[in-house]
Amino acid sequence: MSDPSNPSGEPKVVVTRNGCYLVSGGIPLTRQTIGTDSAGESEKWSEGETFPTKESYALCRCGRSSTKPFCDPHGKVWNQVTGTQDPQVRANFIRQVGNCPSGRLVAWERASGAAIEPDLQKSIGVIEDPAERVSGPLWLRGGIPVIAADGFAYEVRNRVTLCRCGASANKPFCDGSHVKVGFRDWE
Ligand code: FES
């Protein structure tokens, strides 16, 4: 069913000022755990819990929500709503206040010089890294637009990781600081 406040259904993530990530457009959300081989080397992704797909939802980006990976439903929803310039997202989240649920590595083709990117469906992974005993960033896949609170549109990329621990020096993007600060989703 289409969302009346986002009639185009365009998937996007808005980075609110001092607030959460506002996700709209019905983007699927799952946990993605980094699996390791017997030598402890990163080997493959394993898909875990699938969260119910909602048309829109708010994801924590400070690491302090009690309902991670979602933004705390009792937190600063109103500030987040007023922190974005996107009218559709504003309208949507105003409507939802009452029931808020709360790549860096690229392969290049030698001949053409074109990047070889995996064919990814638009989806968001909540990364867990049990080998490091930490939780990782949000993994936006399939070219989901990321919009800053002031309306600035970041370059659309097939793979992007957004900080959800609050410690990155390169916000909204993850810079690996979650390992240093020992950010954990499960504690
Ligand atoms: S999740 Fe915050 S730096 Fe990676």
Q: Which two tokens stand for residue 78?
A: 């109103």
- The answer to whether residue 23 sits within a structural domain is yes
Q: Tell me which of 15, 21, 138, 177 to substitute to probe ligand 1's pocket, judged by most ligand atoms within 8 Å of the beta carbon.
A: 177
From the CA of 16, how far away is ligand 1's center (Å)? Answer: 17
Q: Which of 168, 179, 184 to mutate to test the pocket of ligand 1 (most atoms within 8 A of CB)?
A: 168
Query: End of a domain among 54, 83, 112?
Result: 83
State residue 170 phi and psi, 5-degree precision. Answer: -125, 40
Q: Is the pLDDT higher at 113 or at 16? A: 16
* Omega within 30 of 0 (cis) for the link into 69: yes
pLDDT at position 72 is 79
The answer to whether position 106 is within a domain reads no
Contact 140, 162 (CB under 8 A): yes
The model's confidence at residue 89, banded by pLDDT at 50, 70 and 90, is low
Boundary of a domain, candidates 83, 105, 132: 83
User: What's the pLDDT at 115?
Assistant: 61
The pLDDT assigned to 78 comes to 47
pLDDT of residue 185: 87
Q: What is the pLDDT of residues 22-61, one digit of tens each?
A: 999 999 999 999 887 777 776 678 888 899 989 999 999 9
- State how far the Cα of 118 lies from the Cα of 107, in Å rounded to an integer: 10
Domain finish residue from 83, 107, 140 = 83
- 8 A C-beta contact, residue 15 and residue 172: yes
Taking the C-alpha atoms of residue 30 and residue 48, their distance in angstroms, rounded to an integer, is: 7
Shared-domain flag, residues 132 and 79: no
pLDDT band at 99 (very low <50, low <70, confident <90, very high): very low
91 in a domain, yes or no? no
Most confident of 32-41, 74-83, 167-176: 167-176
Q: What is the pTM of this model?
A: 0.76
pLDDT, averaged across the chain: 80
User: Hey, which of 128, 140, 165, 179 would you mutate to test ligand 1's pocket, going by the most ligand atoms within 8 Å of its Cβ?
Assistant: 165
Query: From ligand 1's centre to the CA of 95, what distance in Å?
Result: 30
Same domain for 74 and 134, yes or no, is: no
Q: Is the pLDDT of residue 2 over 90?
A: no
The answer to whether residue 45 is domain-embedded is yes
Kindly tell me if the per-residue pLDDT of 175 is higher than 80. yes
Q: What is the pLDDT of residue 9?
A: 79
Q: What is the CATH number of the domain that holds 166?
A: 3.40.5
Ligand 1 contacts (CB < 6 A) are: 136-137, 163-165, 167-168, 174-178
**Which tokens is 100 given?**
């808020």
Give the residue numbers spanning the domain of 77: 12-83
Asked if residue 179 lies in contact with residue 137, where contact means CB atoms within 8 angstroms, the answer is no
Q: Ligand 1 mean position to 137 CA, how many Å?
A: 5
Any domain includes 100: no
Whether 4 has a pLDDT exceeding 80, the answer reads no
